[in-house]
Amino acid sequence: MTITVFIILAYLLGSVSFAVIASWIFRLPDPRTFGSMNPGATNVLRSGNKAAAILTLLGDAGKGWVAVVLAQHFAPVWGLDNKVIAGVALLVFLGHIWPVFLRFKGGRGVATAVGVVLGLNLWPGILAVITWLIVALIWRFSSLSALVAATLTPVYAWIFLGLDLSTFVIFTISLLVIWRHKSNIANLLAGKETRIGKSLEN
Confidence of residue 1 (pLDDT cuts 50, 70, 90): low
**Residues whose CB falls within 8 Å of the CB of residue 72, separated by 6 or more in sequence, listed in order:** 85, 119
Which tops the pLDDT comparison, 36 or 49?
A: 49
Confidence of residue 36 (pLDDT cuts 50, 70, 90): confident
Residue 200 has pLDDT above 60, yes or no: no
- pLDDT score at 202: 41
C-alpha–C-alpha distance, residues 103 and 174, integer Å: 23
97, 63 contact by CB (below 8 A): no
Q: For the stretch 6-45, what's the b/e string if a residue is b when 16 or more beta carbons lie within 10 angstroms of its beta carbon?
A: bbebbbbbbbbbbbbebbeeeebeebbeebbebbbbbbbb
Q: pLDDT tens, 150-173?
A: 999 999 999 999 999 999 999 999
- pLDDT score at 196: 85
Residue 30 has pLDDT above 60, yes or no: yes
Q: pLDDT tens, 66-101?
A: 999 999 999 999 988 999 999 999 999 999 999 999
Min mean pLDDT across 13-17, 24-28, 42-46, 143-147 is at: 42-46
Residue 201 has pLDDT above 50, yes or no: no
pTM of the model: 0.95
